[in-house]
Structure 1
Amino acid sequence: MPCWDTYKLSSLCKLMAVVRLNLQDSLRSLVQDSLTSLTQLLLDACHSLLTCPQDLVWGNDLITSPYQPKKDPVFVFVLQKMFIHDVEWLETVNVWEPEVKELRKKISNCLACDMYSAMNEKLHKKPKRIEELAEKREWMKQIPEELKNLKELVNKTMSDYEMLEELFYNLTNEDFNQKCTTIWWPQRIMNNMETVVTQHVEDEERFRKIQLADQDSFEERLDSLQMLVAGFAKNVDIERARELSNKIQHISKQVKECQTMAQTYNTRERLFGMPATNYDRVHKLIKDCQPFDDLWKTTSDWLYWHERWLNDPLSSIDPEQLECTVKDALKTVHTCVEHFKDIPDCQEVATFIRKKIEDFLPYVPILQGLRNPGMRSRHWEMLSERIQMEVEPKANWTFSHCLELGLQNYMDDVAYVAEVSGKEHSIEQALEKMEQEWLPVVFDVLPHKETQTYILKSPDGVSQLLNDHIVMTQNLSVPQFKTAFEGRINTWESKLHMTRDVLKEWLMCQSSWLNLKPAFSSDEINRQLPVEARTFKKMDGIWRRLMKTAFDNRKVMELCPDAVLFAKLRLCNKLLGQVQKGFSDYLATSGGSIPTL
């Protein structure tokens, strides 16, 4: 070992020793810091989980858990298997080193003492309501079992103390106090439970008195609300419809709150062991309040919408919303008329509003017709011509202007023009939808073996879409409504038919080319059939240019509706037919075989 002995005496060996010591010191510091961070994380987690309910179900997403550490620790990976020639190069922290044992001890103590402390803290927490008191009593029934489970954990820790005593190790004051506290916690908690049980009896009596006082106030509140609801039988001023609507809605909200409170009081009565109070009057109050709410809300809304429909710009009216609003309002006030038979004043209001709605009802088809989304300038001209009156809508044009013009006298004409515009609008939307569906449709153009050109992958989806759209386009050609779009329909139908014809010729051409290309790649066939070889070469040049165009632009509806492309494909098929005939005759006479590509 002369070389190794020489190395050990060299400056390099000393330098490497210093480097190793520095690396090991850094590694130990990192691992110790990591263990300290881990310990603090566990301590924080134990503390935050002390209030964790027993029936908590842990999900898969622990990242968003409500039990988060105070800070996110950065853990350092402990390097392992750092050896050179089976000799350990760097040492990390040993699991039995004093610092590591101290951290482990902190965690063990935390798991026991903190849980005892949290249990005691929860035990002394004063309930604010009878519900909390009942919940706490149920929890206290589980304390003996929890103490039993904790005792098993504590016994494991006590065994460590016993071992230290056998070795005559003197505990520090802090450790000794911690040990004593842990031992006496269970008895302390049991003693505290007796005090808390006595306190609970006083708390229950206090909550009972509060409950009785609250129920007395609740009865007074119900009396007040009942009087307010009954007072609406005399409120019949339609000019105050908005005010009355807001008022009755506010009362209705309070009545529903009373319903929730009644349920709460009955629940608490069961907890107190008291007979449940009958709160049927709350349900009756809700039933009495609802018709007034319906009447004044519908009246207020109708007056508001009627004003808007008459005086707002016609372009701002939603015809579907208008129809629904009118139908719902008419249905509601009809119910109100039936309900208020014993309250003539309210029935009179409902009857008045119903008459207003029924008078407006015939105008709904006119408004829907004028607001048809398909109405264009040509339709307004058509309407003007039919009624012999100039009708030219402007930005500020309102339904009141329409009534002033007397359009209500031409309902049939408005309905007819609206029907025409609607049908034409449907045709326009169908054409636009078909055009949009073709935008993402492309050919799948693939390189073909070693031929330096391309072929089309079987376009079954394209063929199916073509057939569907051809049928749809033919269905759009309704003579009565297609006039405005006749040119566009014919153009689109021509594009579809041209695309179908081009695709048919293309696939036929590709099939023949694939069959003949192997044969005319043979020098022997080219010598035997010089005329057919020249014809195939001519066709092959056209084919390659076509496929290069298809590869550069694969969008079907941009590529295929082209008469020039159709003519070239037909020429290719014609040339291939000539080549196929000559080649077939050659095979029949010579009995030769077809080369493969």
Structure 2
Amino acid sequence: MLETAAYVKEVKAKGIQDLLLRVELMEEFKRKGEQKLTQKYEELTVELQKLTQTVTEFDEYSELGCMRQYVADLRALQKRIQEAEEAVAFIHKEETLLKWKLTDFPLLNNLKIEIEPYQKLFHLILRWQQTEKRWMDGAFLELNGEIMEAELGEFSQEMYKMSELFQQKQQKIQQDLKKSSRRTVGEKQEEGIKTNPTLTMCSSVLEQMKDFKEYIPTVKVLCNPGIRTHHWQQMSNIVGYDLTPDTGTTLRKVLKQNLAPYLEEFEAQI
């Protein structure tokens, strides 16, 4: 009996020790989880601040020749934003397990709002540049003036909307600065005349589209599907040299011939 009692006592003691060890391990696991979560939160906060700074730098993007790079920069930024969203999902999952209140990340939501106009603008300009090049350097006789005119109208309308959007954005920034800052009259005047690179870029593209519109009549006349060989002979006689297009003819080459003054005569022959 004494041996049995001693055994039971030993088992109870061991059970208590195992339980205490298990509790200690759980507490240690919880502490490590909390530390890991805190570290993840701090890393994400730093990353969101960096991303916010990157978005503000888009205001200085103004080189039309760098549009492919701008779009690539945007894609890289979007990838980082997606990774930040995944980090937020991880943090919220861990907070739920720890029964903590879910942390809000307003910077992330602001980022997605701020990046959207640049995404639309850069992709729109790149699409315009690619389309313009196809029209200028593609096969001339495959062009359709009516379709080009419609597409150009859509491009112009979209570009005008983007320009309006960035004008409103700029006006809001200036209004906020005036409300929150105490400046001298000279500083305020300097702020007023400061040009916005993004708006300058929008204006340049709108001007390109306006200029291209002048080329549409040439395409409508010379790419008329009803033109036959004898029509080209008649038009060639008008200008004094052979106008008949070949496989190497492009709109860019045709425009260099300055045929606009002859378009009415050409049209009368068709």
Q: TM-score, normalised on structure 1?
A: 0.32
Alignment match, 1:349:
201
Deviation at 1:305, TM superposition (A): 3.5
AA aligned to 1:255 is I
Within 2, Cα distance between the matches of 1:197 and 1:416? 97
Within 2, Cα distance between the matches of 1:328 and 1:291? 18
Q: Determine if contact 2:139/2:248 at 8 Å carries over to the other structure.
A: yes
Deviation readout 1:262-302 (Å, 9 max, x if unpaired): 34433442333211222222121122122223333333443
1:379 aligns with 2:228: yes
AA aligned to 1:303 is Q
The verdict on how the C-alpha distance between 1:269 and 1:380 changes in structure 2, with shifts beyond 3 A counting, is farther
Within the candidate set 78, 94, 102, 1:252 is matched to 78
Q: Which runs of 5+ in 1 are unaligned?
A: 1-194, 418-597
SS in 1 for 2:256: helix
Within the candidate set 146, 152, 156, 1:326 is matched to 152
RMSD value, Cα? 4.0
SS in 2 for 1:405: coil
1:207 aligns with 2:46: no
1:395 aligns with 2:247: yes
The verdict on how the C-alpha distance between 1:399 and 1:268 changes in structure 2, with shifts beyond 3 A counting, is same
AA aligned to 1:277 is T
Alignment match, 2:65:
239
Larger Rg: 1
Q: Determine if contact 1:369/1:414 at 8 Å carries over to the other structure.
A: yes
Alignment match, 1:221:
47
Q: Determine if contact 1:366/1:411 at 8 Å carries over to the other structure.
A: no
The verdict on how the C-alpha distance between 1:370 and 1:237 changes in structure 2, with shifts beyond 3 A counting, is same
Alignment match, 1:361:
213
The verdict on how the C-alpha distance between 1:415 and 1:297 changes in structure 2, with shifts beyond 3 A counting, is farther
SS in 2 for 1:338: helix
Alignment match, 1:39:
none
The verdict on how the C-alpha distance between 1:349 and 1:198 changes in structure 2, with shifts beyond 3 A counting, is same
1:140-539 alignment runs, 5 A limit: 203-314=29-140, 326-341=152-167, 342=170, 344-364=196-216, 366-367=218-219, 370=222, 375=225, 378-379=227-228, 381-382=230-231, 385=234, 388-389=238-239, 390-409=242-261, 410=263
AA aligned to 2:210 is E
In percent, how many aligned pairs have the same letter?
A: 15
The verdict on how the C-alpha distance between 1:272 and 1:403 changes in structure 2, with shifts beyond 3 A counting, is same
SS in 2 for 1:274: coil
The verdict on how the C-alpha distance between 1:264 and 1:354 changes in structure 2, with shifts beyond 3 A counting, is farther
AA aligned to 2:209 is I
Q: Determine if contact 2:67/2:126 at 8 Å carries over to the other structure.
A: yes
SS in 1 for 2:103: coil
Deviation at 1:363, TM superposition (A): 2.9
Q: Determine if contact 1:256/1:286 at 8 Å carries over to the other structure.
A: no
Within 2, Cα distance between the matches of 1:223 and 1:303? 33
Within 2, Cα distance between the matches of 1:408 and 1:281? 55
Within 2, Cα distance between the matches of 1:397 and 1:367? 12
Deviation at 1:324, TM superposition (A): 6.8
Within 2, Cα distance between the matches of 1:293 and 1:243? 13
Deviation at 1:325, TM superposition (A): 5.4
Within 2, Cα distance between the matches of 1:317 and 1:275? 61
The verdict on how the C-alpha distance between 1:416 and 1:359 changes in structure 2, with shifts beyond 3 A counting, is farther
Deviation readout 1:330-370 (Å, 9 max, x if unpaired): 23321221122217221111111111112213434644665
Q: Determine if contact 2:136/2:251 at 8 Å carries over to the other structure.
A: yes
Within 2, Cα distance between the matches of 1:207 and 1:319? 66
Q: Which runs of 5+ in 2 are unaligned?
A: 1-20, 171-194
Q: How many residues align?
A: 223
Q: Determine if contact 2:139/2:249 at 8 Å carries over to the other structure.
A: yes
Within 2, Cα distance between the matches of 1:255 and 1:262? 10
Deviation readout 1:184-241 (Å, 9 max, x if unpaired): xxxxxxxxxxx99986665454333322211211111111111111112223233333
Deviation at 1:256, TM superposition (A): 3.7
AA aligned to 1:239 is G
Q: Determine if contact 2:142/2:223 at 8 Å carries over to the other structure.
A: no
The verdict on how the C-alpha distance between 1:347 and 1:327 changes in structure 2, with shifts beyond 3 A counting, is same
The verdict on how the C-alpha distance between 1:205 and 1:405 changes in structure 2, with shifts beyond 3 A counting, is same
Within 2, Cα distance between the matches of 1:363 and 1:331? 18
Q: Determine if contact 2:145/2:217 at 8 Å carries over to the other structure.
A: no
Of 230-239 and 212-221, the range deviating more from structure 2: 230-239
Q: Determine if contact 2:135/2:143 at 8 Å carries over to the other structure.
A: yes
Within 2, Cα distance between the matches of 1:320 and 1:271? 62
Deviation readout 1:130-164 (Å, 9 max, x if unpaired): xxxxxxxxxxxxxxxxxxxxxxxxxxxxxxxxxxx
The verdict on how the C-alpha distance between 1:351 and 1:196 changes in structure 2, with shifts beyond 3 A counting, is farther
Alignment match, 2:181:
none
Within 2, Cα distance between the matches of 1:330 and 1:415? 31
Within 1, Cα distance between the matches of 2:95 and 2:254? 65
Within 1, Cα distance between the matches of 2:81 and 2:247? 46
The verdict on how the C-alpha distance between 1:256 and 1:360 changes in structure 2, with shifts beyond 3 A counting, is farther
Within 1, Cα distance between the matches of 2:27 and 2:146? 64
The verdict on how the C-alpha distance between 1:415 and 1:358 changes in structure 2, with shifts beyond 3 A counting, is farther
Within 2, Cα distance between the matches of 1:225 and 1:204? 31
The verdict on how the C-alpha distance between 1:288 and 1:379 changes in structure 2, with shifts beyond 3 A counting, is same
1:79-158 alignment runs, 5 A limit: none
Within 1, Cα distance between the matches of 2:34 and 2:265? 73
Higher normalized helix content (fraction of residues): 2
Q: Determine if contact 2:235/2:266 at 8 Å carries over to the other structure.
A: yes
AA aligned to 1:391 is L
Alignment match, 1:148:
none
User: RCO greater where, 1 or 2, for CA within 8 Å and sep 6 or more?
Assistant: 2
AA aligned to 1:227 is Q
The verdict on how the C-alpha distance between 1:306 and 1:279 changes in structure 2, with shifts beyond 3 A counting, is same
AA aligned to 2:228 is H
